[in-house]
Chains A and B, each alone.
Chain A
């Protein structure tokens, strides 16, 4: 293969994989603690993107900002807005759809999650555009231009890399580092690990399990919101359905890496992104998604604990 082509596909795969990985962390932390497949997490990612857009609109849709202004003021504000909306949604969802079902047979919360997923999509579709001055969300909405990122490229040799790709990959690196610090070096993070290992003992040790679970949802939502903003800049537009496929792929990534394991989510996301990029490059693009899912099935059959995960105890 032509080296330029190869490296461009590697960058494509890494960008896509970083998005998957950022979302996959949300599935994995929640699953690690309460063994719940939060099917609606894809929608949290969508809410993150819409939250960022909302901040932009509330700020009066500023255009022609200088690059430092855009990168140091506008972008952080948008990411923050996305995080607030995503985390808020996640907390409400946890409180009303999942918490009452703790201890119910496992089917119950999963079905509830599917309901939440459909509800959130429809809610955004029907009501976002009704707010005066907000665009009609029944169609796609253009994501705001961020000067310095949108439409800018860096050329390394003959390979041209988009700034939005670099942003996405950098976001993953920074978030991984922050997450590692949070989990391993802070008290609340360690409480989270303890709870995921044994919730009953953790409770006996004085850990507020409810608070830990809420924190897990918030952490997942925050990363998903960053992914939402990255997605907006990388793809150029957002819509109410964007969470479904992204969520599905990210969940696949989480399972691929080993669900419940944060490193696994990162590895799984990147692997899945690469598989998609090279499946598209080497064969007909029409079969790209089939390969992604076939690899998932193969991994589950031959290594059910995932690529990185430790042997799972059968909790069923």
Chain B
């Protein structure tokens, strides 16, 4: 079709879309975040407008840009316009569905909502515009402070988005916002911004890590004193810490462990029976860091106990042995109740009423006011867990890039070859097994205090399967992937309680689909990705090319003062 006709139509559509937010979208203030005002757009309406504005700007930019100019080539203007307008349509559909479901029928959609959909649809004719040339955005050289500022800004936006999404107590608001985030990411991706960002991130790794932690640290301040999300966040962190431990075993060394939750349980039970709870059987007065170390050590000893005989047998057997070990652990914890064995764990009752931690007068059980914001009990534990997970990530990252880490990867790729090259495969496998168990044990000791009670029925096979799923879903061998996987798996069920009955059904289907279409996970370890697609020559070339250009850029940047 004629571009001269298409572009004005699309521009008009985007304009209509922007106008629509000044009209009410929904009938009744209880639907989503109250979209009933004239000239008073709600936050979710503003989100729509953002997409529409980006689409409009990218479409209009065409008239002001000399096609050959540098500026015209930086951003893929047409592609960005397409992505933004499609995103707007998708978002409008999501909102309309949410209104219809929440209010009981499409009748609840006011003209503004339809206008948003129509405007978006008109703007989406930009899909027929010619494709942009590959943007040169990612080749932009910027001063370091710009890069750092960009990283900080992205992190802050992430924090805000996470806080907003989490504060949606209803599933509809959460889902609609998730659609917006998806559309926004899609749009940014189309501009070529992410390519630039990932280079900037690679250049400023430390800044990236520190700002990520700053953002995570600041998260409780976004909660206005509410502890509901912090409880979930603390669970996500415990889960993620354990999953990173598992990632060493599965992701780096390639040993499949189906009973990993037992190590978390070993740590939790150790901490619980040593705590000052009246139900504790081995109560001792030790500072928490010592307790955490002991818990980790106990878990590591379990790891050695199970690993020493079984790591000599090959992969598939290990899976079933670890599964059996997980069951043995759970049954043993139930049986150490005084009737079928010595009373250590109080059997299925477990150890309840574990007192809160107290660091130098900082009582973890109390709310504290910091910067005028109430920081509740779970936020305290959240910070403690953040510290623990920071340490775990540090250990993981250092091991991964050390001689030991290379040995592990060698074992994963070809154990026989590794052995014949002089790698001590048994020792390294044992180290991974015990090391992973140690990390899980430490996480378990914090979990015992966060939960205030420890009982055997928290450590069932399904939890091990979830841990494995977190590692696989996020991306084996990567930290970021596992963090994302753990967050998705623990957070979504909490936020989507609406679908709670279908939670496991969807989980099962997701595992199958994921293995079918993206076995390397959301964030793929590049080498790992190749393993899964070893027949895909194109991908191999792409990865290689990426790596070389990437390094070339890094080195070029380093030469700058």
Contacts and interface: CB of A to CB of B under 8 A. Distances in A.
Q: Do A and B bind each other?
A: yes
Nearest to B414: A316
B511 interface: yes
Most buried by B among A31, A97, A105, A120: A105
B317 A255 contact: yes
Nearest to B507: A118
Contacts of A123: 505
Contacts of B532: 104-105, 108
B60 to A, nearest CB: 45
A32 B531 CA distance: 24
A312 to B, nearest CB: 8
Nearest to B533: A104
Given A107-B250, A300-B313, A301-B309, A251 B331 contact: no
Interface stretch (A163-171, A175-183, A221-229, A291-299): A291-299
A290 interface: yes
Contacts of A244: 461
B465 A316 contact: no
A304 B316 CA distance: 11
Contact of B314 (A101, A109, A255, A316): A316
Nearest to A297: B321
B324 A122 contact: no
Contact of A286 (B319, B340, B515): B340
A107 B313 contact: no
B192 interface: no
B316 A35 contact: yes
Interface in B368-420: 415-416
Contact of A293 (B312, B319, B328, B468): B328
Contact of B316 (A106, A248, A252): A106
B515 A112 contact: yes
A242 interface: no
Contact of A108 (B312, B328, B509, B519): B519
Interface string B307-328: 0011011111101110111011
Nearest to A288: B331
A71 to B, nearest CB: 38
B254 interface: yes
B335 interface: yes
Interface in B233-253: 250
A115 B519 contact: no
A105 B334 CA distance: 37
Most buried by B among A100, A112, A284: A112
Nearest to B316: A37
A109 B508 CA distance: 13
A117 interface: yes
B362 to A, nearest CB: 42
Interface string B461-482: 1100100110010001000000
A200 B550 CA distance: 41
A314 B314 contact: yes
A126 interface: yes
Given A37-B316, A111-B511, A252-B320, A119 B310 contact: no
A287 B340 contact: yes
A269 to B, nearest CB: 15
Given A105-B532, A287-B340, A37 B505 contact: no
A209 to B, nearest CB: 18
Given A105-B531, A107-B256, A112-B515, A286 B334 contact: yes
A96 B512 contact: yes
Contact of A284 (B320, B328, B340): B340
Contacts of A112: 511-512, 515-516
Interface in B317-374: 317, 319-321, 323-325, 327-328, 331-332, 334-335, 340
Interface in A7-41: 31, 35, 37
A116 interface: yes
B217 interface: no
B254 A107 contact: yes
Nearest to B315: A316
Nearest to A302: B309
Interface residues of B, number: 49
A123 B331 CA distance: 28
A316 B415 contact: yes
Interface string A39-70: 00000000000000000000000000000000
A115 B502 contact: no
A114 B511 contact: yes
Contacts of A304: 312-314, 317
A301 B323 contact: no
Contacts of B537: none
Given A114-B468, A126-B501, A300 B321 contact: yes
Contacts of B131: none
A232 to B, nearest CB: 24
Interface in A81-97: 96-97
Contacts of A159: none
B335 A286 contact: yes
B504 interface: yes
B510 interface: yes
Nearest to B308: A301
Nearest to A116: B512
A290 B511 contact: no
A122 B502 CA distance: 8
A293 B332 CA distance: 12
Nearest to B335: A286
Contacts of A106: 315-316
B519 A104 contact: yes
B527 to A, nearest CB: 12
Contact of B512 (A115, A284, A286, A290): A115
Given A111-B472, A111-B511, A118 B465 contact: yes
Given A100-B516, A108-B532, A110-B256, A119 B508 contact: yes
Contacts of B507: 115, 118
Contacts of A210: none
Contacts of B416: 314
A301 B515 contact: no
B254 to A, nearest CB: 7
Interface string B490-516: 000000000001101101111110111
A245 to B, nearest CB: 9
A242 B187 CA distance: 48
B313 A126 contact: no
A117 B340 contact: no
A111 B515 contact: yes
Contacts of B462: 118
A27 to B, nearest CB: 10
Contacts of B415: 316
Contacts of B509: 115, 119
Given A101-B515, A110-B316, A300-B321, 7 more contacts: A97-B515, A107-B476, A109-B515, A111-B469, A115-B515, A119-B512, A289-B327
For the complex of A and B, 10 pairs with smallest distance between CB atoms: A115-B511, A119-B508, A118-B508, A293-B324, A122-B505, A112-B515, A301-B309, A115-B512, A286-B340, A316-B314
13 contacts: A37-B320, A96-B512, A96-B516, A111-B515, A115-B507, A122-B502, A126-B502, A244-B461, A284-B340, A290-B335, A300-B321, A301-B313, A316-B415
